Amino acid sequence: RLFYGCNRLFASQIISHYDSINQCKKEQPEYFNFASDVLDEWSKLEKVDGKRPATPAFWWVNGEGEEVKWSFEELGFLSRKAANILSETCGLQRGDRVIAVLPRVPEWWLLNVACMRTGIVFIPGTSQLTAKDILYRLQASKAKCIITNDTLAPAVESVMPDCQFLKSKVIVAKGSRDGWLNLKELF
Model confidence pLDDT, tens digit, residues 156-180: 999 999 999 999 999 999 888 999 9
Q: Which of 80, 88, 86 is nearest to 98 (CA)?
A: 86
Average pLDDT over residues 138-157: 95
SS3 content of the chain, % helix, strand, coil (to 5): 45, 20, 35
Q: How far is CA 173 from CA 8, 132, 177, in A?
A: 38, 23, 9
- For residue range 39-56, what is the model confidence (pLDDT) as tens digits? 888 888 777 756 666 678
Question: Which runs of consecutive H residues, i.e. helices, occur in 23-177?
Answer: 34, 40-44, 72-84, 106-118, 131-141, 153-159
Look up the pTM and report it: 0.78
Walk me through the domains of the chain, giving residue ranges and CATH numbers.
32-185 (3.40.50.980)
